[in-house]
Amino acid sequence: MSEWLENHLPKVVLAPSFIAVLIFVYGFIGWTAWVSLTRSKLLPKYEIKGFIQYERLFDSPRWDTAINNLYIFGALFIVIAMVLGLLLAILLDQKIRVEGAIRTIYLYPMALSMIVTGTAWKWILNPGLGIESMVQGWGFPNFKFDWLVNPDYAIYTIVMAAIWQSSGFVMALFLAGLRSVDGEIIKAAQVDGIPTWRIYTAIIIPSMAPIFLSAFIVLAHLAIKSFDLVIALTGGGPGYATDLPATYMYAMAFSRGDIGQAASSAMIMMLVVFAIVVPYLYSELRAKND
């Protein structure tokens, strides 16, 4: 008996977790995929009707707005967060005296939840309480900064809050990459009289390609599943000007009582995540096998 336990104890211990993941993750993914092929409304129906929910989804102006917002938000968020994170990492890589304090300040936003970040930025950008009110109180009554309530600019307030939240994390990734570069190569380049900026652009940054890819994957995943930040900051408004696929899915499921539409939008989001993550995992596994 003791020999059997010794050989099978890891399997016995892991079995409940494996079964729970199998049911509550993959099982519900399968259930969602099934419901997305039905005419389900407030309650699920299980008679398959084909791709009617997906046709409704792509004919929906609100879904078009959510996808366009995702393009804007995702592109600006990923690019600016990576550029800002890289610049901050290069700054800290100069071995400045207050590196520890600055690094803590930059990383602090990551310790906050997206709900807290969204609520704080909602106060900052509120025309009656935040930046606009403060600047007008300084004697500039014509100053306007009403992006939070302007349908044409509200999506950019989400971009600002997300960058503030995530750029410190990107900085930490890049700083670890900078510190992992072989110092002998850098010293040899300095001996040859190569300027510092050229060392970074020609030697250090190109060697960090895997870290850039990792940062891109993480940020893209955050952008696609962004929900709590939007809900806390704009609630998807004004109107549905700041809707993203995740908030669209929530609205369909819990506000409109249309779980068929919610399921179809969830499946599209999952496919987008898979399209980003699966090639990355494949390249990583292939690199390890080589």
How confident is the model at residue 1, as a pLDDT?
61
Locus of tokens 């700054």: 91
How confident is the model at residue 63, as a pLDDT?
95
How confident is the model at residue 261, as a pLDDT?
94
How confident is the model at residue 64, as a pLDDT?
95
How far is it, in rounded angstroms, from Cα 172 to Cα 130?
Answer: 30
How confident is the model at residue 5, as a pLDDT?
67
What residue type is assigned to position 54 of the chain? Y
pTM of the model: 0.88
How confident is the model at residue 289, as a pLDDT?
65
How confident is the model at residue 219, as a pLDDT?
93
How far is it, in rounded angstroms, from Cα 147 to Cα 242?
Answer: 11
Cβ proximity of 224 and 74 under 8 Å = yes
How confident is the model at residue 80, as a pLDDT?
96
Counted residue by residue, the chain has a size of: 290
Contacts of 32 (CB under 8 A, 6+ apart): 263, 266, 267
How confident is the model at residue 274, as a pLDDT?
87
C-alpha neighbours within 13 Å on the C-beta side of residue 217:
17
How confident is the model at residue 227, as a pLDDT?
92
Cβ proximity of 203 and 186 under 8 Å = yes
How confident is the model at residue 120, as a pLDDT?
92
CA angle 44, 247, 212 (to 5 degrees): 120
Residue closest to 43 by CA, chosen among 263, 272, 286: 263
pLDDT along the chain (290 residues), means of 10: 70 84 90 93 88 94 95 95 92 81 84 89 90 90 90 94 92 88 76 80 84 90 91 90 94 91 94 85 70
How confident is the model at residue 21, as a pLDDT?
87
How confident is the model at residue 27, as a pLDDT?
93
